[in-house]
């Protein structure tokens, strides 16, 4: 097995680890603040699209990881079901119609062209959520780190195999994840400073 194939399977492992770490964090912490249900629903639909694209393109790492992650997608939605809205479901339905239309009109090439935007469709609601909300305890920094490694692995694999779809996927995932990681770190730092100031004020009051 050559280096490129190994890299493809490494990307598979990283993707599975990334998708599994977020629901595990939510189950363990019992917190879902900041988790975008729209992003989760869109991700489920995108993975169905990637499954079909991987089979049609004869790219085993793509269709294997998509088929493995579908149950994880469903688990993620169930864990964050309190954040689910009609708008989230409507967004997923519209995304599914778009992918089906791309396949019907353009076949494998049409589906691949639309799937280039899948990571943006998935990440955009989550990026919007982290920029709008101040409580992000439901988001895992471990997941952020795994997503960065995932983006680098898939982007490199795509570059080495000449697959532009995977290269764009890696670039967009890396960009969106960087914003999410920055916001999660910023809110945690702010919360720690606020708590520290509150504790010092309480200590001063008690001494007075």
Reported as a single tens digit per residue, the pLDDT across 119-177 is 899 999 999 999 998 888 889 999 999 999 999 999 999 999 998 878 888 999 999 99
Number of domains in the chain: 1
Question: What residues contact 142, with CB distance under 8 A and at least 6 apart?
Answer: 21, 25
Residues 6+ away with beta carbon under 8 Å from 116: 164, 165, 168, 169
Per-residue pLDDT tens over the stretch 113-128: 888 788 899 999 999 9
Q: The whole model's pTM is what?
A: 0.79
Range of the domain at 29: 3-207
Lowest-confidence region among 114-118, 163-167, 186-190, 203-207: 203-207
């Amino acid at each position: 097995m050559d280096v490129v194939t190994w890299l493809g399977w490494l990307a598979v492992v990283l993707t599975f680890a990334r998708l599994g770490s977020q629901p595990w964090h939510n189950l363990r912490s019992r917190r879902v603040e900041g988790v975008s249900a729209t992003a989760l629903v869109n991700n489920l639909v995108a993975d169905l699209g990637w499954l079909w694209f991987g089979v049609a393109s004869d790219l085993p790492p793509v269709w294997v990881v998509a088929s493995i992650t579908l149950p994880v997608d469903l688990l993620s939605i169930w864990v964050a079901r309190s954040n689910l809205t009609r708008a989230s479901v409507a967004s997923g339905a519209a995304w599914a119609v778009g992918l089906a239309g791309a396949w019907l009109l353009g076949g494998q090439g049409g589906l691949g062209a639309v799937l280039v935007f899948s990571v943006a469709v998935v990440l955009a609601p989550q990026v919007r959520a982290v920029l709008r909300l101040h409580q992000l305890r439901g988001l895992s920094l471990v997941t952020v780190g795994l997503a960065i490694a995932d983006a680098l692995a898939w982007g490199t694999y795509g570059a080495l195999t000449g697959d532009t779809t995977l290269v764009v996927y890696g670039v967009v995932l890396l960009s969106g994840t960087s914003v999410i990681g920055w916001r999660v770190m910023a809110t945690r730092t702010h919360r720690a400073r606020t708590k520290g100031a509150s504790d010092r004020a309480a200590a001063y009051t008690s001494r007075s």
